[in-house]
Structures are given as C-alpha cells and as structure tokens.
Structure 1
Amino acid sequence: MRYIILFLMMACCSKVSAQNMIFDQWGKAPVNGGFEMADYWVWGSSVIKGDDGQYHMYASRWPKYLKFHPGWMMASEIVHAVSDTPEGPYEFKDVALGARGAQFWDGRSCHNPKITKYKDQYILYYMGSTHPFENINQENASELTLTSKWCIAARWSKRVGMATSKSPDGPWHRLDTPVLDVKPNSFYSFLTSNPSPLIKKDGSVVLLFKGRSYKTDSISHTGQFIGVATAPSFEGPYTVVGNEPLFSKDKFGEVEDPHLWSDKNGYHMIAKDMTGQIIGSRHGGVLAHSSDGIHWTLDACPQAYTRTVQWDDGQVIEQGQLERPFVLVEEGEPTYIFFATMDGPGGFGNGTKTWNMVIPLKKE
C-alpha cells in the first residue's frame, strides 16, 4: 500500500505543475536580494516585519576559516540584518545572540533562528550548544572533524531555546536553561534542535522540532525525527505530544528543517526530504498540512520545491544546497520563501560560499 501511495503522489507531481500552494507560485529569485557576508558562512534565515516598517532578518553565521560542517556547531552566532523590502538586500546590523561562555547551555553556538512576535514581545527561538574544551581558532581549525572532541560534545549538547526582546534590535533576554530538553528512552533522548514555533491568538504555542535518539549501544545516535511540543504560552512549560514522532524513516519519510505556518485553511509545514523517500527527489521540499498542528497529513501533491532556481537575470541553476525553508506570511498569505543556499555541485564540503536567498511567491 505504501508503494501505491508513493506512486500516486509521484504521478501527480510529475505533471508540469505540482498543483500546490508553494510549487506553483515560485517567482524569479533576485540575484541581488537576500543576505550574505564576506569571510563568513551564512545560513538559515527567519524574517519579520517590525513596527518600524523594516524587514528584520535573523540568520546564522560562522567564520570561513572553519569548515562549513561541522564549524557551525563550534562557532555559529545569530546575527540581525535589515532591509526596506522583503527581497533585500539585507544589511548586517548587529549580533543578536553570540557566544557567552562554556558554562551556559548555549554558550558556544547559537543556530537555527526562528523569529515570531506575540503582543509586544519578539520571541527568538533557536538551537544552542556548548562544549568544555578550548576554543577553535585559525591555528587549530584543522583539528575540527566530525569525530573530534569538540564536535562530539557540541552535537550531544544541542537543545532548543528561546530569547525575548521588546524590540527587534534587542537587547535579548536569554534563559539559563533550554525550553525543550531531551528525555531518556524517547525519540529525542540525544538532542533537540531545529525549532519552528507558531503562537496562536490565545498565546498558546505549537512547536515543531527535530530530535535524535540514542541507539541501543548508548553511544551513537539515530537518524532524524520530527516531533511536536505545545505550551500554554511562549514562556512555557513545553510538553512534547505523544511518544512517537510525526515524521521518521518509518512514518512518511525522514525530513529535516520543518517550518510551520498557518492560514485560513489550517496549519502547513514545509520541510526537506532527506532521502527522496516522499517526493522521489533527494533534498527537495515536502508539504504537509494539519487541522490542529498535532496530527499531520502529506499534501495530495507534496513536492514543494527542487534545488533548481530561476534567477531574475535569466539563469536557471541547480543550487548545490537549498535548505532551511522559511515562508514569510503577510496578511494571512504566503508572500516570499527564503532559503539557505550554497554554490557548487552539492555536498557541504564542495561549496565555496553560502548565502540566504529569497523567492517571491505569486499571488493566487
């Protein structure tokens, strides 16, 4: 039955149009839009329109003397950039969340920002991590590998947290503990990461997140799971719903980078298909929907995007990486989709630059 469903979905999406709210609406990406910084890897953006009329972007950056991966686990910080238009270009303004010492749960790295607002509070969700070792710098950067002491400790300590401010310019009040910790014998016993919040009108929160669990050897970890947590307010407490993930290798397929939004038709999620199990295209985009944010179903034609982008200078390019989708919603309608992207043939070790790009969505 699973293969019949997959065949029908792929048949639907093999048509000229995938017939959904994202795939059908892609415009041309502005070559001079988005956000990049010289001498830094830039990744994963989240954008909000402030009361000042400007668009405020929060993004991750880390120095290019570190490898792209796993350099972000050691030295990522969340920066703030602004633009008068959603397309950009965005100009760097300040560091919103930086390193603050190994003793803090998020003391070494802040990553995966997601910005939202409730009443007069701006709330910045993110992933934080730490490690107890000496800093990585230009002198010892070559020692940083996926099996190095820094990476092992930093990956193990990844947690979801939150900071608040009355202004998009800060200052940001950071918490001394994460808002979503791990739980033994669960699908998130190893780490929590990649938060995507939605605050309802009554102030309660639905939060999608990525988890990994320990394998039975109690040393290594599993692949990625997507779970959902709820809270009565953004201040918490956050409670994971159920004992099983929403998405996994055995349920729909393995996805990453979930982004959550809502409109008059309910809740929507866009995410990266890690293996192509769902849409038949590795690292393409997946769309799912829900009536309550808790119970999810794949869209009839779930392919949201591929890595091929049409730019406004006429070029059509298959990006090396196209990740961290973020949908900007204005007056209840999706208006732009943002991505972290990399040049090159694909693979984190094969690119020379990264930036955050933006694509306008056509009005239906």
Structure 2
Amino acid sequence: MKQKNFNKLFVILLLGTVAYIPTKSWAQIQERAKPAEWIDLVPGGKFIDLFQPISPVGQLTSDTWGTATVKPRYVDNGIEDNEWSYWGGNILEGEDGQFHLFVCRWREDSPKGHHEWSNSIVVHAVSDNSMGPFKVLDEVGKGHNPEVYKTADGRFVVYVIDGYYVANTLNGPWEYGKFEFDQRDRPIIEGLSNLTFVRREDGSYLMVCRGGGVWFNQDGLGKFNQVSNERVYPPVDGRFEDPVIWKDNVQYHLIVNDWLGRIAFYQRSKDGVHWKIDPGEAYMPGISIYEDGTNEDWFKYERIKIFQDDLGRAVQANFAVIDTLKNEDKPNDSHSSKNIGIPLKVGMQLDLLNKKQVTASTKTMKVLVKAESGFDPQNDLDLSSLRYGASEEVNFGRGSKVLSSKVKGNDLEITFEGKGNGFKEDNFAGKMLGKNQNGEMVFGYSRLPWVDYNQAILSARKPEILKEQGIVRVKVENFGQVNSKKAMVSVEIFEDGKSAFVSTKKIKGIQPFEGVTVDLPFDEFIPLGTNLSFKVSIQSSKVESEVFEGSLSGPNR
C-alpha cells in the first residue's frame, strides 16, 4: 500500500531547499541539518516536548561506570549493574501491582564488549515503581531486542529477533516459537527484525518491522501478512531502526529512530496503515534531566518503548542508553549500557462535540475537556492560551481561539471560533495546545466525529495470467476489523511499459482476514513478452483507495 497521507508541509520542508542531509560525519554519527521551519514550532508542537523532568530515583552517585557526562547519576533509574550490560525492553503492569520489565543483557566482561549483543539473554525483572529500580527474577531465554505484549486470550508473548517466547503468566514457563510471515508478493522491507506490535480492538495485531513495512495478524501468534509496498517512514535519507507503535483511545502512534543521525521521528495514524508525519524531533540525546537539575547526558538513546495508562496514553518512555560509541564499549572497562525510564506529559481527554464535519466555513467548535485525577480543567487551564484545530496549524501556534467556556459537571466545555481550524480531508484528530495557570504546557487530541476509525483494509495479491482459462486472476483480502462494503477492483497489465489489458469488476463484502478471488476474462490479449508489469487498484466509497504495482511473470500455460 502506498503512503498518501503525508503531512505535506513536512515533506516540503524535508525535500526542499533545507533538505535533511548530513553535514558532518564520523564513526556511528552523522549530524543532520533540520528544516528551518522547525524553529517555529511552539512548546508541545513536537513529541520531544513531552519528556518531563525525572523524579530522583534512589541515591545520586559517581561510584559507577560511565563517562563524566553521565556521572553523578541515579543508578536506580531502570536497571543497571557492573556485571551486565542491558539493552532494550519494555514494561507491563501485572495484576500483582508490580511492574514487569523484559530486557536483554550480556556480560560486561565478554571479549566482544558491546558486540556480544548477538548472544544476549532476555531476563524478567520487576519493580514496585515503573521507574525502577528493577531486580532480575529469572531468565526467559536467548534473544535480543525484546518486546512483550499480551494477547486477547491472556497469553504473554516476548518477541525477540527471529522468534518469540510465549507463556500463560508473566512468570512463565516460557515456550519458544517462530512467527510465520506471508509477504504476499511484496518485497520485505529491510528484513524482519526489530518488530513492534500493537493489539487492535478485536484482538488482532498490527506489526511494523524495522524497515517500515506494515503487517497484520489475527491473534498475535499466527501468521503475519504484509500489506505495505513501501516503508511508511518519512521520505528522508535516514538510517531507520527501532520503531515503536502504540494505540490510545484516539489514534495510533509510531516513533522511529535514525540511529546514525541520533534523531527520531513521530507519526500518527487512524488505521495503522496510512500515516501522518508530525514535524520536529521525537527524541534526541539530552532528554534525561532530573527535577534537581542532574543531567545524565547519554551518548545514544535507542530501542524506545512506551508504557501506557488505561486509556492507552503514553505516560513513560524507556530507552536503552549507552555512554559512548558502541565500538568503544570494551570488556572490563568503564563503559556499558542500561535501561532507563523518563516520564512523559500525559494528554488531556478531549471530545469534539460538533457532529457535522468542520470546514473552513464552520463558525464555532465545542470541545469538552474532561476532568480526571490531578487535573481540574475548570481551574487549571489558561483559556487565553489554548488553540484547537488541525495539528498542522496548532503545532505552529496557529489554530482556533477560545470564545467562551461553560461548566459541565466536573468537566469544561470550551467554545472555539471556527476560523483557522485548518481541518482538511486527511485529518483524523483534532489537537489542543496551550498552557495551564502555572505556565506549563498542556495538550490533548480528540477524535473527529465524522471520521470512520474502523474501516476495512483491502489489499490485493499479485495477479496471475491463466492462459488456458482465459482469465487474469487476482485475490483481494481484508485485514480490517469489520466487513468490507462493495468495491471496484481494476487490474491493468503492461507489456514493455504499454497498457495491454485493463478490466474492472465489482466485488461484494469480505469478512476480516478473509479474501475473494476475482477472475477477469480476456479475449484476444495473451501477453507473451517477458517485460510485464501490473497495477491493481481497489476503490470503495467507504475506504481509502489502494494501489498495488509491480513486475509480473508471463502467462501460466
């Protein structure tokens, strides 16, 4: 599937005169030139603004490994010790009220130093606090870059490169297995490693691989099916890895890291397939600052994972951090790596009350800001600072201004002028940005009532030319969570770049994770050449049209 919902401003900035290019290079680093317009982003306009000062965890000490840039530090943040180097890992809160971290490690004194990572072991650690300190309980098994998730039927899965472990409880016992992948006639984008997973409402799973390909799976353990034809990342010359995907009550979120440039990008989506890229850095070195002013200036932040609240909102980010170049981390030296946590600013709960689609001619918009523990919108918000509308406007300090407000129980209904809202057809969320009475940034997203967030996701396989039957055959599958509606499937075949066959057929609805075979008859056209290509288009009034293109073999005889 092709990307169609790029933030056009973002693409122009990155591909225009201030292109995203390297300006300085040395081992494992390239400094990146950033779009000049990023300077105009207001506080809260980029994801990096959500990182909050860290409350001190344990005692501040210099009696530990690391360069001067990370000492003194709070060693009890996350997990670390002198015997092991730790990497990756994410947290789940268990029914026991404890926080369970699945992280990999290798001995610090290994002859390969940091490059012993290929022999790392996944361990299960627990803490009474999501920030740590975490203590190892037991080993899960060999593997690297773990990510743990819970399936709809209550099982726990720990993904590792090239496999997974599954258990009925967070304490195991763990059974090793391997996923099945169906690339569905598409090239696998940069291999199947560093996978990240998110569960959808019906218990099915969406996965993004390191290269930025999107895959779907029905239960979290069975076959994963690729639907994307190209990566969903920003169209820049980045060395991308470490994607992390999560979903809250509004939308999907994705962060991917350019490890060479040491800068990450943030994207949003209504369905996990079509992504909107937000400008500005998602994270960079320099984000671990404590409330007392202590700055742990780690050389690299990688393998970001997100800890979520009951609404799915991101409340904490965990990173694998290292104090120097990976090649410089030798056995029995003063360098190593660990896992740390950083709290995130949590978004407000918002409901846009307008039922009719908001356009440039809309006079007013009403937004309900919900009260919750620790937040009273009636008294906490600086109403004059608030802006609401499309993120493309609000992130740059524009958007619609407040006209009035009204108390609704414990909540606050705010009326915004319609002018400047910026909503267009590709917007699927409204954003509110401003300050509280203490001058601190506040933000939140709302769904847009006229947007359908749970649509069919139709995807075609490569067509076949069946000479004896006199047909061109193509299979169309639905990877959404709802039955599809009627759609038009068009197949065009090119010989030496020239259109030689085109036919269209209407198909009926398809249930989730099922497919239909479409046979398109031909009369005289039988392509005999070897330079064949195809284009399959699927058009439905209820879902975004999709196009699948590629090369094609000759007819089956």
For normalisation by structure 1, the TM-score amounts to: 0.73
Matches within 5 A, 1:300-311: 301-308=279-286, 309-311=288-290
Matched, 1:264 2:243: no
Q: Quote the residue 1:116 is aligned against.
A: 149
Q: SS of the residue aligned with 1:197?
A: strand
Structure 2 residue 370 is the aligned partner of structure 1 residue 337: no
- Would the alpha carbon gap of residues 16 and 111 (structure 1) be closer, same or farther in structure 2, given more than 3 Å must change? same
CA shift digits 1:66-96 (9 cap, x unpaired): 33443111x1111110001101100011101
Cross-structure match for 1:227 = 213
**Structure 1 segments (4+ residues) deviating >3 Å:** 4-10, 13-18, 177-185, 250-254
8 Å Cα contact 1:187-1:245 kept in structure 2: no
**Partner Cα distance (1:122, 1:13) in 2:** 43
The equivalent position to 2:230 in structure 1, one of 234, 240, 244, is 244
Partner of 1:359: 342
CA 1:35–1:4 in structure 2 vs 1: closer, same or farther (change >3 Å)?
Answer: same
User: Against the structure 1 CA distance between its residues 262 and 22, is the aligned structure 2 distance closer, same or farther, given a 3 Å change threshold?
Assistant: farther
- Give the match for residue 202 of structure 1: 202
Contact 2:105 2:122 in 1 (8 A): yes
1:125 to 159, 180, 200: 159
Task: Give the residue type in structure 1 aligned to 2:345.
Answer: K
Checking the alignment, whether the CA contact within 8 Å between 1:227 and 1:240 is kept in structure 2 is yes
Measured after TM superposition, the shift of residue 54 of structure 1 is 0.6
Change (3 A) 1:38 1:274: closer
Q: CA deviation at 1:35?
A: 0.7
Q: Max radius of gyration: which structure?
A: 2
Number of aligned residues: 295
Match of 1:76 in 2: 120
* Residues 37-76 of structure 1 mapped to structure 2, 5 A cutoff: 37-64=81-108, 65-73=110-118, 75-76=119-120
Give the secondary structure class of the aligned counterpart of 1:194.
coil
Relative to structure 1, is the Cα distance of residues 10 and 296 closer, same or farther in structure 2, using a 3 angstrom cutoff? Answer: farther
Shift of 1:56: 0.3
Give per-residue Cα distances to partners, 1:283-328, cap 9 Å, x unaligned. 12211111111122211x3311210021345222431111111110
| Number of the residue aligned with 2:166 | 164
Q: Is the 8 A contact 2:144 2:160 kept in 1?
A: yes
Report the counterpart of residue 456 of structure 2 in structure 1: none
1:254 aligns with 2:254: no
Q: Which amino acid aligns with 1:122?
A: F
User: Where do 5+ consecutive residues of structure 2 fail to align?
Assistant: 1-11, 21-33, 57-73, 348-557
Identify unmatched segments of 5+ residues in structure 1: 99-109, 128-158, 211-224, 276-281
- Out of 293, 297, 315, the position equivalent to 1:314 is 293
Quote the sequence identity (%).
26
Contact residue 25 and residue 363 of structure 1 kept, 8 A: no
User: What is the correspondence of 1:78-93 to structure 2 with a 5 Å cutoff?
Assistant: 78-93=122-137
Q: 2:49 aligns with which of 8, 13, 23?
A: 23
Aligned residue for 2:146, secondary structure, equals strand
Give a deviation string over 1:1-27, Cα, whole Å, max 9, x none. Answer: 412585895523565735235523422
SS at match of 1:28: coil
Residues 356, 181 of structure 1: CA spacing in aligned structure 2 closer, same or farther, 3 A cutoff?
farther
